[in-house]
Amino acid sequence: MLRLLRRASFTARLLALAVGVLIVLVVIDYVALLELPGRVASDTVEIALRENVQSLNATFADERTELRARAEGVSTARAFQLAVLEGNEAEIKRLVASEVGEDVQVQLISGEEISGSGIGPVNYTYSVQGREGKGDVVLYRRIDDSVLERAASAVDQQASFAVELDGEFVARSSTFPTSITTGDANSSVDPGVAELSDVSVDGDDLHLYSRAVTSNPRYRLHALSTPDLEREALAEIRGDVRTAIAGMSFATIAAFLLLVFFTSRTVRSFAIRVRALADGDYGTRLAVRGSDAFAELAGSVNRLSAELSDQVGRLEDTASAFSRTLETLEEGICVWDERGELSYWNRGAEQLTGLSRERATTDDPVLAFLLAERAPGTRRVTLPVRRTGGGLVVDLVVTAMPGGGIVQTFRDTTMVDMLQQTQRNFMATAAHELRTPITTILGFADTLVNPELELTPRQRDEFISIIRDHAHQMQEIADAFFTNHQLANERVEVSIVAAMVDGVIGDALERVQLSMPERAEDVANVKVDIPERAAVLADRRALVGVIAVLVENALKYGSAPITITAERKGGTVTVLVRDEGPGIESHHHARLFDPFYRIDVDMRGGVGGAGLGLFTARKLIEAMHGAIRVRSSPGRGATFVVELPAAPVEAGSDDDSGDGRSLRLVG
């Protein structure tokens, strides 16, 4: 049974407990209440006997009325009144015997007390007032069996009566048992005192009701119950008790059913709210009523709900921030669950592979490749991404997650490798650019200091001039590197003034002729179409350097014709440098302006350079609050677009005609 209860639900256990308690209460009710009729019956019998005694008293009252009526004539006779005043008891008895009857007794009253031993409840007192005094006399009849028989008949023989005088029965009804003695009843004789005694008559347990009438003489009335009276009283009480037990049992059952119903309902409501809390509805609150265990439990659940809501809110904020961080990373992040299904694919992965989240399925070669790379560790692999030149080389990091699944992080190494190669090329180019003037300076310096060589003054001056020119060249190279270093660290300051665009273009072309004398003819053939009085807000010397870099690049990498045009739209002046060369593929556009970036990484085309020209140009243009970009496609040449704020026409000036030597750029 206990094992079944342990396996049963809470409601079933509560119902079983209620039924068990109900059975115990009903048994207690029956045991307690079924003993009650015996105790209550005696009270009922006493009440019935009291009522029967009242009937006996009514019989006595009738007897007294009859006595008074019989004595009415003699009481008014003068002889009777004189005898009373004189206290002549013999004459009074003679008159009463002759006029009323011999069964009537007479007794004079001395003082306020009735003396004698024969006066009973059937009496009548006369008072006679004379000139010289007062006299009182009592007329009475002794109680006999016939009076008690009439009283018993009046109550349908539901009781039998007896009268006791001074410890002896003086009268009995016919049904009053002779086996009962005066000793069976209590001995109290105080008037008005009633007592109930238990007596046994012929095997029946009956009740004897005794009541003292007078103390002098000591009259007592006795009323004895009958078996029928006892049974009727007991049956009535038992019926009432059974009705009470049935009503109590019904009320108890109803109360327990209501208790089970409301308890189950409360627990069910509580469970529903707790289930909502478990499902993530942290706004659920339970009603707290009173201060019992349920109220305390509801309060604890509410506090738990509030704490969970705060913690979940903080976790969601952290997860949201973490998700935003993952989305902004350039590295690709791919998460697989323990079943081998893709659960996360960030924006970095989309940009690296060109595969959007909506199309990210294992049917794609990239994801199929990644799914096969599940072993934890770090390695360099090539993703089968559709791009010119082959796949995408990445560093792949695979990390196992607790509970199954893996996280894959990969980043593009193509540009890193390219940058490393570019830096190596830059170092080689820088060494080459510096080696030529250094070799020349050292050679002519050794010649000048050689004592074995006799040089004419003209030769010495020529050698010194060559050494000075190459020293200036080295200084220009060093200045160019220093300028690019400043640009990379955002430390270049520009002086914004109004500058005429045509003057800037002219100075830039002159600078290109000086730096590339072998291409002087090509520089002269550059077509320039600049609107009259077009002016920009810029650092003039910096802008000259930028245009010079764009023209040099067009000469190096492009083809004629080279054109320079400008146009003004609103508050912006746009300068375009265009060539008709082989063009630039679109995937290079975003990296052209990065430091050390070259399309021809290995310089197989025979064009030197450190890869800093366009980077320097972008930094300078941005410092002047402008923008620079490229428009190109393979086979259609390239156009570099420079946008700068326009200056008022009347503010245009060519006063600042410096050559911008301190900002010379290395292409």
Q: What is the pLDDT of residues 453-491, one digit of tens each?
A: 888 888 888 888 888 877 876 776 676 666 666 665 556
Which of 121-135, 161-175, 423-437 has the lowest average pLDDT?
Answer: 423-437
Judge whether 505 and 530 are in contact, CB under 8 Å.
yes
Strand pairing report for 392-400 and 497-500: unpaired
Residue 595's nearest CA partner among 485, 490, 492 is 485
More confident residue, 322 or 186: 322
Sequence letter at residue 79: A
Sequence letter at residue 643: E
Q: Averaged over 132-137, what is the pLDDT?
A: 83
pTM given for the model: 0.38
Residue 262: left if φ>0, alpha if ψ -120 to 50, beta else—which one? Answer: alpha
Question: pLDDT value at position 503?
Answer: 92
More confident residue, 383 or 427: 383
Three-state SS string across 424-444, please? HHHHHHHHHHHHHHHHHHHHH
Residue 645's nearest CA partner among 543, 503, 508, 519 is 543
More confident residue, 505 or 427: 505
Pure H helices in 120-226: 145-154
**Confidence class for position 428, pLDDT limits 50, 70, 90:** low
**Confidence class for position 589, pLDDT limits 50, 70, 90:** confident
Output the six-digit token pair for 600.
């021809």
Contacts of 27 by beta carbon, 8 Å cutoff, 6+ apart: none
**Confidence class for position 7, pLDDT limits 50, 70, 90:** low
User: pLDDT digit string (tens) for 361-398?
Assistant: 878 888 889 888 989 999 988 888 876 556 788 899 99
User: pLDDT digit string (tens) for 267-314?
Assistant: 777 777 778 777 777 777 777 767 667 677 777 878 888 888 888 888
Q: For the beta carbon of residue 190, count every other beta carbon within 10 angstroms.
A: 9
Sign of CA dihedral 464, 467, 473, 474: negative
**Confidence class for position 257, pLDDT limits 50, 70, 90:** confident
Strand pairing report for 342-345 and 194-201: unpaired
For residue 566, the SS3 value is: strand
Write the burial class of residue 372 (CB in 10 Å: 0-12 exposed, 13-18 middle, 19+ buried).
Answer: exposed
R_g over Cα of the chain = 68
For residue 390, the SS3 value is: coil
Q: Is residue 600 scored above 80 in pLDDT?
A: no
The rounded mean pLDDT for the chain is 79
DSSP sequence for 613-659: HHHHHHHHHHHTT-EEEEEE-TTS-EEEEEEEEB--GGG--------
Half-sphere exposure of 176 (CA within 13 A, CB side): 26
User: pLDDT digit string (tens) for 558-568?
Assistant: 888 999 999 99
Give the CA dihedral 648, 649, 650, 652, nearest 10 degrees: 90
Ordered strands of the 104-108 beta sheet = 104-108, 134-141, 123-129
Phi, psi of 374 (to 5 degrees): -100, -10
**Confidence class for position 57, pLDDT limits 50, 70, 90:** confident
For residue 350, the SS3 value is: helix
Chain Cα centroid distance, residue 346: 32
Helix axes 10-34, 227-278, angle to 10 degrees: 170
Pure H helices in 329-394: 347-353, 365-372
Q: Is residue 501 scored above 90 in pLDDT?
A: yes
Residues 265-271: contacts with CB under 8 Å, at least 24 apart: 266/294, 267/10, 267/11, 270/294, 270/297, 270/298, 270/301
Question: pLDDT value at position 660?
Answer: 40
In percent, how much of the chain has pLDDT > 70?
Answer: 81
d(CA 349, CA 408): 10
Strand pairing report for 332-336 and 527-529: unpaired
d(CA 127, CA 323): 124
Q: Averaged over 71-75, what is the pLDDT?
A: 84
d(CA 540, CA 644): 12
More confident residue, 433 or 374: 374
Which of 28-32, 126-130, 157-161, 618-622 has the lowest average pLDDT?
Answer: 28-32
Question: pLDDT value at position 389?
Answer: 59
Output the six-digit token pair for 566.
């400008």
Residue 112: left if φ>0, alpha if ψ -120 to 50, beta else—which one? Answer: alpha
Q: Is residue 664 scored above 50 in pLDDT?
A: no
d(CA 166, CA 176): 19
Output the six-digit token pair for 28.
């207690």
User: pLDDT digit string (tens) for 16-31?
Assistant: 777 777 777 777 766 6
Helix axes 89-99, 36-75, angle to 10 degrees: 100
For residue 593, the SS3 value is: coil
Q: Is residue 5 scored above 80 in pLDDT?
A: no
Q: Averaged over 25-45, what is the pLDDT?
A: 66
**Confidence class for position 667, pLDDT limits 50, 70, 90:** very low
Judge whether 641 and 629 are in contact, CB under 8 Å.
yes
Chain Cα centroid distance, residue 569: 60
How much of the chain is in helix, strand and coil states, percent to nearest 5?
50, 20, 30
Question: pLDDT value at position 509?
Answer: 92
Q: Is residue 553 scored above 80 in pLDDT?
A: yes
Q: Averaged over 123-132, what is the pLDDT?
A: 81
Chain Cα centroid distance, residue 182: 85
Identify whether 645 is preceded by a cis peptide bond (ω within 30 of 0): no
Question: pLDDT value at position 378?
Answer: 92
Q: Averaged over 547-569, what is the pLDDT?
A: 91
Question: pLDDT value at position 657?
Answer: 44
Q: Is residue 605 scored above 50 in pLDDT?
A: no
**Confidence class for position 32, pLDDT limits 50, 70, 90:** low
Judge whether 357 and 345 are in contact, CB under 8 Å.
yes
Q: Is residue 449 scored above 80 in pLDDT?
A: yes
Residue identified by tokens 């045991």 is 31
d(CA 279, CA 317): 19
Contacts of 303 by beta carbon, 8 Å cutoff, 6+ apart: none
d(CA 11, CA 5): 11
Strands (DSSP E) contained in 203-357 are: 204-215, 218-225, 332-336, 342-345
DSSP sequence for 518-554: GGHHHHHT-EEE--TT-EEEE-HHHHHHHHHHHHHHH
d(CA 152, CA 56): 8
Question: pLDDT value at position 143?
Answer: 80
**Confidence class for position 444, pLDDT limits 50, 70, 90:** confident
d(CA 434, CA 429): 8
